[in-house]
Chains A and B, each alone.
Chain A
Amino acid sequence: MTVTTEPRTATLALGVSGWGVLSPYGLGADEFTAGLRAGRDGTVEAAKLTDDPVPDPRAYALAGFRARDHLGRKGTSFLDRRTAFAMLACGQALADSDLVVGDDNRDRIGVVLGTGVGSLQSTSDYSRDTLVQEKPYLVNPILFPNTVLNCAAGQAAIRHGLRGVNATLAGGPMATLAALRYAMTVLGRGRADALLVGAMEEYTPHMAWADHRAGDAPTTVGGEGGAVFLVEDAAAMRAAGRDPVVEIIAVDLGHTGGRTDLATALADRVRRVLDQTGVAPEELATVVTTGAAAEHDALDAAVGPDASRVAITDLVGNCPTAAGALQVAAVLAHHRGEPEHDDCLSLIVASTADGSVGAALLKGNARAARDHR
């Protein structure tokens, strides 16, 4: 969907009340925050993840991850990696939040996940089985749900008993910004009260080779992981005496219709986000990019040199679909337990090789991990 977004008359800010993250630094916000601050190298040997040949010997991956270690044995043996990631990260976000899910509100809490192609491993394996299994194509029907794009969002909602809006947005590297933008609309139109929003990606030899051959990714070292944020209407949260960890105060994205001059198109989006919120470029403390060269050109033009820049690919490798969620997580980590970062303004930017550009503006609030965690 490429609806051009115009400045809105009634702007709803998303308040993040909890978050979960899976990264090479570990499972959870505290582990991610610690790894990020230490600047630790998150790569592992790719051979630990796959027996297939891969173009790069290392990967930013969750080596040794097994769904049943975190989600139990019951009902988890046929889950694919991406779905297990989503179920776990959604659980972490709920545990990190002060929002309690019960029969009085589960119809009003939903799940909105971004994706590229769903689980590429699952669809590839299933397609392969149709060719190599005995005729008449004795594929395993239990594995079929894994091949569907919205498997992760559906399974996460079932596990956590969430019966509100359930949506999967296919947008590749733009998927998280699209999901956040969608969440603003859904909450603003009263179609849900709270949403788990995020994106995840699994490491697969297929993507590793595809990115290697295409040669246009900022790094060819593959990655995996993802993040999920529990978002609500920030004003409603404050009215109820609850403080968001971070507010996402503007999201703007669109499609240029081509592959040319991404930098100019992105610079335009950044200016629009700043205009919508009345923020001056020099007020920005941090900008988190996906690492694409065009984004740096855009930031030179629209923001200038003052804000510190972080390329998410330097921290988590090349995992385009999860990148946006990990960018937001990086901002949240910056604020986690750091009162001196109160009210810091951060910008997220993203771009895709086929011509989409987007930006989001985040405003922080320090808050230590809650006691109930």
Chain B
Amino acid sequence: MPLAITGSAMRTSLGDTAETYQALLAGESGRQPLRYVAPEGVNVRHGYHVDAAGPERPYRASAWLAECVAAAAREAGLDCARQRVVAVVGTGLRELRAVERWRADGQPVDPDALHFGAAVRGALPGIEDVVTVSNACAASSHALALAADLIELDEADAVLACGADAMAESMLAMIGRVGDESSDAVRPFDADRKGVLLGDGAVAVVVQRAPDSGAAVELRGVGMSCDAYHETAPDPDGLRAAMTDAYQRAGLHPADVGLVLAHGTGTALNDPTEAGVLAGLFADAHPGPLVTGIKGAIGHTSGSAGLMSLLVAVETLRHGQVPPVVGLRTPIPEAAPLNLVVGEPAGTDARVAQINAFGFGGVNAVCLVEVRRER
């Protein structure tokens, strides 16, 4: 059954979808000094914040998510009175920040607000069900896979696959302990990369059965794997398994793909592992797809990362301009076989993109999306 993406919205440190895409083309970054958490305590000095001008409001991720859900549902023209609409929210840490503030600052916490049910219901009254799943950094892409399942099994007429995460002190403390020195910026696939930094944000994507006339944006397939190889280190076999699953479900071959949105976290292990797997996957494709990534510009947005990459991929296929990898100067040797976009945007007439999202514990998801060209 062909599936269509009929509406979407996101909120990143660079703005909404259109603003983020334009900023990416210009090579801009949303990086700023870390807010709300003392940098010396967590050994992290920068973050890619959303909405961090004033004092820290509670339940920020829920607020961004509600805004994205409402906008995406509006674009898709969803009507909960006539359609069976369900939301699946993928997240790394839900509203853990609220618990931290309860513990540290005595700020009252509402247990029901720690997942996103109430926020989504408030944004889309009449929605049948809201399910929050915690799948680390592949969470929103997993949510997209579940959305595809729900539509294909005719359990729902429309599913909002979502992602939402706001920086939490515990997560910052963890990334601050991974390397000896604090990372100054996210530099995906760069020889001088010093590790990951976090980004705030939320994203929502509406999946529906495609009309017989075809879809402007078609979700071709989402592959998943969960290899449990290691707590944090990626397993090349696990990454390949998710890719193989995605291509099988989509009925596509690597040679059909003209664009890859890489997971690219700027960490010691992800980037060479991912580059090696991609190089193998496209070894027989000539000239092979253009490869880019968004974390150098908006940070690692945790649960939201996969679907944010997907929306940037869709914008790229629509407009034919591939943004460069912000933060990348000198690619690592493992990435030599890849057509990484460095410095300036690159033109493309690609129609199909692959989007990677890999999480701790070996939770992987790979999406394939196709955009009908109207230019």
Binding site for B on A (CB under 8 A): 1-6, 8-10, 185, 188-191
* Contact, CB under 8 Å: A189 / B153: yes
List chain B residues, Cβ under 8 A from A6. 84, 154-155
Bound complex: CA A161 to CA B86 (Å): 36
| Contact, CB under 8 Å: B131 / A1 | yes
Per the bound structure, the CA–CA distance linking A188 and B249 in Å amounts to: 13
In the complex, besides A9-B154, A189-B153, 12 extra interface pairs with C-beta distance below 8 angstroms are A1-B129, A3-B128, A3-B150, A3-B155, A4-B84, A4-B129, A6-B155, A8-B154, A10-B153, A189-B149, A189-B152, A190-B249
Q: Which residue of A lies closest to B241 (CB)?
A: A107
- Which residue of B is nearest A5, CB measured? B155
Size class of the B contact interface (CB-based, 8 Å): 10 to 19
Tell me if B's interface is mostly helix, strand, loop or mixed.
mixed
Q: Would B131 and A188 count as touching, CB distance under 8 A? A: no
CB of A283 to closest CB in B, whole Å: 26
Once bound together, how far apart are the Cα atoms of A189 and B224, in whole Å?
12
Contacts of A191 in B (CB 8 A): 224
Per-residue CB contact flags for chain B residues 147-176 toward chain A (1 = under 8 Å, else 0) read 001101111000000000000000000000
Quick one: given A185-B149, A189-B149, are A4 and B128 in contact (CB under 8 Å)? yes
Pairs across A and B, CB under 8 Å, 5 listed:
A3-B131, A4-B128, A6-B155, A185-B149, A191-B224
Min CB–CB distance A261 → chain B (angstroms) = 21
Q: What are the residues of chain A within 8 A of B249 when measuring CB–CB?
A: 190
Q: Chain A's interface: helix, strand, loop or mixed, by majority?
A: loop
Are B129 and A3 interface neighbours, CB within 8 A?
yes
Shortest Cβ distance from residue A286 to the other chain B in the assembled complex, whole angstroms: 29
Q: 1/0 per residue B7-34: CB within 8 Å of A? A: 0000000000000000000000000000
Q: Is the CB of A188 within 8 A of B129?
A: no
Q: Are B149 and A8 closer than 8 Å at their CB atoms? A: no
In this complex, the member of A2, A188, A189 whose beta carbon has the largest number of chain B beta carbons within 10 angstroms is A189
Q: Which residues of B contact A185 (CB under 8 A)?
A: 149, 153
Cα(A257)–Cα(B224), bound, Å = 32
A167 to chain B, nearest CB (A): 10
Binary CB contact string for chain B from 58 to 101 against chain A (1 if under 8 A, 0 otherwise)? 00000000000000000000000000101000000000000000
Closest Cβ of chain A: how far from B362's Cβ, in Å?
Answer: 12
CA–CA, A69 and B304, complex, Å: 49
Task: Name the CB-closest residue of A to B148.
Answer: A189
B81 CB to closest chain A CB, in angstroms?
15
Q: State A264–B154 Cα separation when bound (angstroms).
A: 26
Which residues of chain A are within 8 angstroms of B84 by Cβ–Cβ distance? 4, 6
B155 CB to nearest chain A CB (Å) = 6
Chain B residue numbers with a CB within 8 Å of A2 are: 129
B86 touches A3 (CB 8 A): yes
Task: Select which of B128, B129, B131, B155 is within 8 A of A8 by beta carbon.
Answer: B155
Residues on A with C-beta less than 8 A from B129 are: 1-4
Query: Which B residues lie within 8 Å of A5 (CB)?
Result: 155
Point out the residues of chain B lying under 8 angstroms from A9, CB to CB: 154
Task: Please provide the 5 A-B residue pairs with the shortest distance between their CB atoms, ordered closest to farther.
Answer: A9-B154, A3-B129, A189-B149, A8-B154, A1-B131
Residue on A with the closest CB to B84?
Answer: A6
CB-nearest residue of chain B relative to A1?
A: B131
Q: Are B128 and A188 in contact (CB under 8 A)?
A: no
The residues of B that contact A189 with a CB separation of less than 8 Å are 149, 152-153
A254 to chain B, nearest CB (A): 10
The docked-state distance in angstroms from the alpha carbon of A9 to that of B153 is 7
Residues of A within 8 A of B128 (CB): 3-4
Residues of A within 8 A of B150 (CB): 3
Q: How far is the CB of A147 from chain B (nearest CB, A)?
A: 18
Distance (whole angstroms) from the CB of A334 to the closest CB of chain B: 30
B86 near A188 (CB under 8 angstroms)?
no
Please indicate the chain A residues that have their CB under 8 angstroms from the CB of B149 in the complex. 185, 189
Note all chain A residues with C-beta closer than 8 A to B224. 191
A190 to B131, CA, bound (A): 22
Looking across the interface, which residue of chain A has its beta carbon closest to that of B245?
A191
Q: In the complex, A343 Cα to B227 Cα: how many Å?
A: 40
A12 to B153, CA, bound (A): 10
Bound CA–CA A2/B249 (angstroms): 27
CA A134 to CA B257, docked complex, whole Å: 60
State the CA gap A99–B154 with chains docked (Å): 30
A10–B155 Cα gap in the complex (Å)? 11
What chain A residues lie within 8 Å of B154 (beta carbons)? 6, 8-10
Give residues 13-57 of B contacting A (CB, 8 Å). Answer: none
Residues of chain B with a CB closer than 8 A to A188's CB = 153
